[in-house]
A and B are shown apart, each in its own frame.
Chain A
Amino acid sequence: MASPALLAAVGEVGGDFFKPRTSDTLPCQADTSKLFCFDWARENIDRYGTPTVQHLELVLFSVLIGFAIAFALSLLAHRRVWLRPPLLVATGVLYTIPSIAFFFLLLPITGRGRDTAIIALSAYTLQIIYRNTITGLANVPAAVKDAARGMGLTDRQILWRVELPLATPEIVAGLQIATVSTVAIATLAVFAGGGGLGTLIKTDITFKTNLILAGGIAFLMAIAFGLLLSWIQRRLTPWRRAVTE
């Protein structure tokens, strides 16, 4: 027999998550025709804090890992042109496999949890970042590289001091697309046991106020990342006006 204290503790952790803290259900919460229940939102908004932070962590880890791998692959393929088609196909396959399927393809290997979600999400970002970086490097005018070589720069110096700075708009644009998409897709991480805002959505999937709050936070987070990266793009390349697409 479990002690009442233990049962109470379990009850606190498990169920009753979305019950209001006051003893009775709020009137607008019971009314299912209502689109948004402000009273409930006001009382329960702090429950969205932890999942939002988890969501942010999922996105940041996934995009940083994805960027590190995709950037390294781009530099490899930049010198070795024969690597480009196979890398494009490989990252394309990872991009095409739906994240929710990817989570469960990894299940026998990495199990459930945040690591699995991060692996699948970062695999998704590879193609976007890789393709943009390669395009950015390819768009650097040959005359500029010739001039740099004429000034006595080595290949490595040309890459880091000439080509990469000139490719920055495209690279950051890729990072922006990848980050914004990852914020949205990370809501599915709940199916892999990865936490984040999807957890709240799935816990009370019929309560519209909850869906608007959790979905709204994810949407705004994505928009904020988009704006932040456009700003970074402009700051990094003051010689060039922001490039769309």
Chain B
Amino acid sequence: MIGALPPHPVLASIGGAIEFIFTPQTSNVTGGKEVGGIDQVVELTLNQLELTVLALALSLVVALPVGLYLGHRGTGQLFAIAIGNAGRAVPELALIAFIAAAIGVGVLNLTIALAVLGVPPILTNAFVGIHQVDRATVDAARGMGMTEFEILRRVEVPLAIPTIFTGIRGATIAIVATATIAPLAGVLTLGDFIINQNVYGDDGVLAGAIVVALLALTLEFALAGIQRLLTPEGLMLKTT
């Protein structure tokens, strides 16, 4: 490298990554085809977001009703806790690779694989959140003539919102993080920059890592905001 004052190597790497995010560059393995640039970054970000939203939606549809029902009935505690513990132990890389090898590649299969990571935290937290609602409060609601469904919807769920959301946020982080390795199962996400270093170069790898980190943090802050909106005012006073 020839230059009057070469920048610090770390700064140079970051500079290269930022340049990669905004300007397409020539890759030495794609036969002159340009890689990177804001268009490709946006496209892959949207792919990753789409995959995350699909998997999260599937997790919610499967896990939330079961968690809420078991929590309301107060049964199946062992099952609800065990599924949470087992879910945490599932190795992400093996799961994605196995689904791709055994069922096949593609968005649908990957959505199912990612939902496997999303279901346990949502189910366990929904169960725990509902289950720990003060029984006297529930009895009072019943005494006021509420049906079981009304008790769940108007008393238990609002009181359990912080715990339920902890589960949803945990699921989202796990899903968006694992969606990064989706290219291994044939769906291009931001992880393509990270995994295919030979195509995108070191700048591309770092650029991918930066955008993935920003995407995850954005989702986390958005969910924290939604949680604040949904939490009943009375509960806000009690926390912290």
Contacts and interface: CB of A to CB of B under 8 A. Distances in A.
Say whether A and B bind each other. yes
Contacts of A206: 97, 100-101
B92 A184 contact: yes
B213 A98 contact: yes
B206 interface: yes
B97 to A, nearest CB: 5
A72 interface: no
A45 interface: no
Contact of A211 (B92, B97, B194, B220): B97
B93 interface: yes
A108 B9 contact: yes
B155 interface: no
Contacts of B9: 108
B81 A101 contact: no
A171 interface: no
A184 B217 contact: no
Contacts of A92: 220
A189 to B, nearest CB: 9
Given A95-B173, A208-B102, A215-B91, A100 B181 contact: yes
B212 A197 contact: no
Question: How big is the A interface, by class?
Answer: 35 or more
B111 interface: no
B89 to A, nearest CB: 3
A98 B212 contact: yes
B4 interface: no
Nearest to A207: B101
Contacts of A93: 217
Given A100-B177, A100-B212, A211-B97, A107 B91 contact: no
Contact of B206 (A105, A187, A188): A105
Question: How big is the B interface, by class?
Answer: 35 or more
Given A180-B88, A187-B91, A208 B212 contact: no
Contacts of A232: none
A245 B81 contact: yes
Contacts of B100: 205-206
A125 B208 CA distance: 23
A63 interface: no
Interface string B82-126: 000110111111110110111000000000000000000000000
Contacts of B209: 100-105, 107
B90 A219 contact: yes
B70 interface: no
A61 B88 CA distance: 19
Contact of A223 (B89, B101, B177): B89
Contact of A214 (B14, B81, B94, B208): B94
A48 to B, nearest CB: 13
A120 to B, nearest CB: 10
Contact of B14 (A102, A108, A180, A190): A108
Contact of B194 (A95, A96, A191, A201): A191
**Which of A85, A93, A201 has the most B CB atoms < 10 Å from its CB?**
A201
A183 interface: yes
Given A211-B97, A226-B85, 15 more contacts: A35-B102, A107-B13, A108-B9, A108-B206, A185-B92, A198-B93, A201-B97, A205-B97, A208-B98, A211-B94, A215-B93, A219-B91, A226-B88, A226-B89, A245-B81
21 contacts: A85-B240, A95-B173, A96-B217, A98-B173, A98-B213, A101-B210, A101-B212, A101-B213, A101-B216, A105-B206, A105-B209, A108-B9, A180-B85, A184-B90, A201-B97, A205-B100, A208-B102, A215-B94, A215-B98, A222-B89, A226-B89
Interface of B: 9-10, 13-14, 77, 81, 85-86, 88-95, 97-98, 100-102, 128, 173, 176-178, 180-181, 184, 191, 194-195, 202, 205-206, 208-210, 212-213, 216-217, 220, 240
- In the complex, the 5 A-B pairs of residues with the closest C-beta atoms, listed nearest first: A215-B94, A98-B177, A222-B89, A104-B209, A108-B13
